[in-house]
Amino acid sequence: MNNWLTPRALNWQLAALWAAVLPHLLILPLWSALMLVACTGVRIQIYRGIWRFPPWYIKLALLGLLWLGLLYSFDRDTLMRGTVALLVGGSAFKLLEIHTRRDALVLIYLSYLLIAIQFLFEQGILAGLCALIAFAVVMGSQVALFDPRLRAPLPSLRGTLKLILPALPMMVLLFLLIPRIGPLWSVPLDTGAAATGLSDSVSPGDISSMTRSDELAFRAGFDGPVPTNSDRYWRALVYSDFDGRSWSLSKRLGPVLETVETAVGRYSYEIIMEPSHRPWLPVLDVPLSVQGADLRGARQAVSKSPIDKRSSYRVTSASRFELQSVLNARSRARNLAFPTDQNLQTQALASQWWRESEGQLDLFIRRIASHFNQSFVYTLQPPLLGANSVDQFLFESQRGFCGHFASATALLLRAAGVPARLVGGYQGGEYNAGAGYLTVRQWDAHAWVEYHDPERGWVRFDPTAAVAPERIEQAAEDLFANQPGFLADRPLSPLRFTNSGWLLEARRAIDAMNFSWHRWVLNYQNQQTDLLRSLLGEITPVRMALALLIPGALIMGFVGFNLRPRRSKDALVRAQQKFERVAAGLGYRRQPSETFGELARRIKTQYSDSSPALDLLAFIEQRMRYSPEEVDRAELIRALKRVAKVLRLESMRVSRRNALAGLKETKERDAGSTGR
């Protein structure tokens, strides 16, 4: 068998490698794509006979360039992407030394591996479709590799579909029934490529910088009514320590959970969280319970490990609540602490307002809101602030984002002797009415204040609502659309151009498909038990076995039925098969390298009475093999049928003659024994 590649097989090899590598080029540096283009061009020139295969020292130099590119573009934080770049480079270099089928198989196996690695970075429905198409192309290249025909790509496509389509029903069956188990090993993904998000410390300008990104933070699907926009406060982090400029998580907080003494207006929902590489989980304020995570300290949801892949968790929250009505001395001191040698003007202003409010907390809060509503400006691009950031914001710039207003409010409260803290999370979310879920993006990041009232416990106060109430009532993308800093990191973001009309509806429809994909495919383990109960009733080992074996047997039976030997539609092939069966019945099996004429001459040695028909068959096949234009296919078909008929009749005569001879011999033997 010829071990060299046909032109069609080589074309399929190039298509397969590009189909497998294309999704990775979105996360790899430009030189990776240029390297693949160059190697493809060189391989085409080699195929056309213009260039020769490069010598070993050229390939060694290319390998050195690849290593230099890896050292320049990647570090320890992007190790996984560097590994993919190395694999892509090795696959590209393999194009320069494909001589035989064995070399091509190595490239095919590398392509399969590249398709699988794609899911480490993206698991959306689009990535799944791209992987399925790439898998079909790579399998088509494998089919073409063992097809001796030089051209005609359609037979390879048909062969690929015949291999893939029967496997799909079994794949769906195993997906629905087989329980999920955790991975035996894990791959550390790129921590340096983490999406913009909340961190465990925040300065006044940090929140506004998140509006530069359109990246998805999470989606939330509700079992019942969806909260109004003014109630969509997603609690993630609670900052209690203040150093005069930045707020940070309290290291003394510990695992003690603050108690919810009154809870009204419960919401039950599921959140599908995007990778953040941090353990903090956003939940609707205030959470009562979280499945798959822990609630700690000031009702913060924390996972057991950083969120390095898309994850889901269920939450029950209360929209009206009373949180920790009594503070112990330690907690009170922690939420009153601040540097007394900084922001002196703010401290003096707080003391003045507290005296004017006669120690009434509600009046003091209204005074803060009234002050912000006078001359302050809500902007995404506030001026830079120095060490006394709160003083500069309140008395000089008076321009800021939610972080500025929240930080100033919390310090005013603490300076007046009221325990206060900063809460970081998200506010709002785009509601998809068709699918019934909320989409929250990084531009929805928000900060607000909680202060402690001895009668009501921790109370939420959002000072942003005083200066810009539209931030709470409107969608963030509508409010910030004309702000110069909005989506500054993504000037060509599709979300800029799909916020109205049919483009908005199309985007929401696509997003709903992704949400269903994430919920029912990627996070199917959370839905599997409920679905199996609805299908099987009670889940028992016997029912699970029957649910797997009966459909599995039907699928395998259908596949086996389609793989049965079928009668050819070609008249010449049918005639050849009929002749072979008759010859095999006579004890003459056709050898793989034997022509029909040679087989006829072998049969002639024993069945001489059929010599004319056998000689005619050998003569016609010889003419057709060497002078096909002089022989009609119908003539060969008639010859094959005639020989099969003659041999069958000859076989019947021989069998009858042998039977009569045997009967005669038996009678003679019986007569002889009687005479004796």
Please indicate whether residue 130 is annotated as part of the active site: no
- The span from the CA of 115 to the CA of 138, in Å, is 10
Retrieve residue 7's tokens: 């032109």
Name the catalytic one among 402, 404, 511, 518: 402
Catalytic member of 24, 462, 511, 518: 462
d(CA 639, CA 646) in angstroms, rounded, equals 10
Tell the residue number behind the tokens 């205030």, with chain if given. 286
Nearest-10 Cα torsion for 58, 63, 64, 70 = 150
Residue whose token pair is 């700690």: 296
- Encoded amino acid at 542, one letter: V
Catalytic residue among 24, 371, 446, 518: 446
Query: Could you tell me if 157 and 39 are in contact, meaning their C-beta atoms sit under 8 angstroms apart?
Result: no
CA distance 676 to 674: 5
Q: Is 341 a catalytic residue?
A: no
Given a contact cutoff of 8 angstroms between Cβ atoms, the answer to whether 472 and 462 are in contact is yes
Go through the chain and tell me how many residues it has.
Answer: 676
Measuring CA to CA, which residue among 299, 269, 295 is closest to residue 285? 299
SS3 sequence, 641-674? HHHHHHHHHHHHHHHHHHHHHHHHHHHHHHHHHH
Q: Can you state the percent helix, strand and coil of the chain, rounding each to 5? A: 55, 15, 30
Nearest-5° Cα angle at 488, 487 to 494: 45
Q: What is the dihedral of CA 245, 247, 248, 252, to 10 degrees?
A: 100
Match 């009733």 to its residue by tokens.
537
- Strand pairing report for 311-323 and 241-242: unpaired
C-beta separation of 144 from 8 below 8 A: yes
Collapsing DSSP to helix, strand or coil, 389 comes out as helix
How far apart, in whole angstroms, are the C-alpha atoms of residue 676 and residue 669? 11
CB burial class (10 A; 0-12, 13-18, 19+) of residue 330? exposed
Does 462 qualify as catalytic in the annotation? yes
Q: Tell me if 446 sits within 8 A of 425, measured CB to CB.
A: yes
Q: What are phi and psi of 446, to 5 degrees?
A: -155, 160
Neighbours of 325 (CB within 10 A): 15
| Catalytic residue IDs | 402, 446, 462
